[in-house]
Structure 1
Amino acid sequence: MSRPLTPLALTVLRMLCDSPMHPYEMQQRIRDHAYDHAVKITHGALYHSVERLAASGLIEPLETSREGRRPERTTYAVTAAGRDAAQIRLAELLRNPAAEFPLFGTGLAFLNLLSEDEVARLLRSRAVKLEATLAGHQAAHEALLKQGLDRYKLIDQEWLIARARGELEFVRGLVDDLDSGGLTWKDDDVQIRCHPRPRPPQHDDEGTS
């Protein structure tokens, strides 16, 4: 493939390194191993990725079968070129930090467009959602451990837990600093110019001017 392997393509190759399977089996494997916690996966994208890998010679069809009224299912196997490509791409991902631009970072860069009180309120809401996310990751991790999966198969889960825990701690710290006045931009020119002005009081009688 001329372009670097996408995370989803690498996921397909990794699964086929275990054994040949058809896309429906891949979907089941993704759910069973919680790969969708580490990689964005949709039904259509999975089939498209399989087609691209096959067209590039990184996987190859072994057989096509049909059971009853179910659609035909093609079983694929990874090729030697596919194994090489997966190992090269994995090495790149582990070795080289990628320039990523998470949306939360964008929000943090422009805090002063809102008041300190509003930012603190929004971050408290974020903290509640992060607590739920963290609990979900931990529950999924514990469930997979109970299934007997080796730790090396769950390292991505550990990273998700650590990242959620770290972000939660960071957000709580920001809220504390905002509440205590240790973080402020009240005198910032941009905040003064751009913060929405208070709305005029509304009359109960819509007909009153």
Structure 2
Amino acid sequence: MRNLTTLGLAVLRLLDEKPRHPYEVRQCMREQGIDHLIKVTHGALYHAFDVLAKAELIEPVETTREGKRPERTVYAITDDGREIAAGRLRELLSTLESEYPTYGAALAFMSLLTTDDAAEQLERRAVLLESELASVTTSSDALLKRGVEAVHIVELRHLQAHLRADLELTRAIVDDIREGRLHWQADRRATE
């Protein structure tokens, strides 16, 4: 199933551990830091459950009601779900997909700003990157201390590596601008 989204894959992985209802899956995503990697909204999560159920990759196994709360349907992964998830995961791990990060585009168009303005914006980004890196590191450490298996948070190591690389590059570009090694026409236009 080539159109199995990363959110769908996350749902299948969590249901592979044990049957759960969508709210519990959402909680697990928060607890395991998956929400740092995948945008998870209430609507998107329930839509993913609907799509997976229609494709027979998951199936309802129980419906419960506690007090006046709405019914909660507990889902389990099917054998087809495991097979499809494994195949999609093999594909994602072993191949390269073109990604179009907005930061790369912003760097390509940075010459629209003056060097001072660009350096100032990049310095702001560096502060945000430092903060995000600290947050992800804290989350990762806390998850390990709580006993979450390292295999379930290896993606946070990947995120940390990307944040470190982004921070290193951003600082290097700022240094190149501030030291005069990187300059462009916008500075001349600004003084004319």
Structures share fold, TM-score greater than 0.5? yes
Q: Which residue of 1 aligns with 2:127?
A: 128
SS in 1 for 2:153: helix
Aligned counterparts, 1:115-194, within 5 A: 115-186=114-185, 191=186
Q: Distance in 2 between matches of 1:159 and 1:131?
A: 16
Decide which structure has greater helix share.
2
1:67-109, Cα deviation, whole Å (9 max, x unpaired): 1001001111111110001001111110111100010011011
Greater RCO (Cα-Cα under 8 Å, separation 6 or more): 2
SS in 2 for 1:145: helix
Distance 1:192 1:180, change over 3 A: closer
Q: Distance in 2 between matches of 1:47 and 1:79?
A: 18
Q: Which residue type is aligned with residue 84 of structure 1?
A: E
Superposed displacement of residue 145, structure 1: 1.2
Task: Give the alignment's Cα RMSD to 1 decimal.
Answer: 1.6
Superposed displacement of residue 24, structure 1: 1.3
TM-score (normalizing by structure 2): 0.95
Q: Distance in 2 between matches of 1:77 and 1:167?
A: 39
Q: Which residue type is aligned with residue 160 of structure 1?
A: L
Distance 1:10 1:153, change over 3 A: same
Q: Distance in 2 between matches of 1:21 and 1:197?
A: 63
Contact 2:33–2:153 (CA<8 Å) still a contact in 1?
A: no
Deviating beyond 3 angstroms after TM superposition, the runs of 4 or more aligned structure 1 residues are: 195-198
Distance 1:197 1:31, change over 3 A: same
Q: Distance in 2 between matches of 1:55 and 1:196?
A: 58
Aligned counterparts, 1:108-119, within 5 A: 108-119=107-118
Contact 2:114–2:190 (CA<8 Å) still a contact in 1?
A: no
Q: Which residue type is aligned with residue 121 of structure 1?
A: E
Which structure 1 segments of 5+ residues have no match?
Answer: 199-209
Distance 1:197 1:72, change over 3 A: farther
Superposed displacement of residue 39, structure 1: 1.3
Q: Distance in 1 between matches of 2:52 and 2:154?
A: 26
Q: Which residue of 2 aligns with 1:53?
A: 52
Aligned counterparts, 1:1-209, within 5 A: 1=1, 3-186=2-185, 191=186
Q: Which residue of 2 aligns with 1:207?
A: none
Which structure 2 segments of 5+ residues have no match?
Answer: none
Q: Distance in 1 between matches of 2:153 and 2:17?
A: 16
Distance 1:192 1:32, change over 3 A: closer
Q: Which residue type is aligned with residue 133 of structure 1?
A: E
Superposed displacement of residue 150, structure 1: 2.3
**Quick one: percent identity of the two aligned structures?**
47
Superposed displacement of residue 40, structure 1: 1.3
SS in 2 for 1:75: strand
* Count of residue correspondences: 192
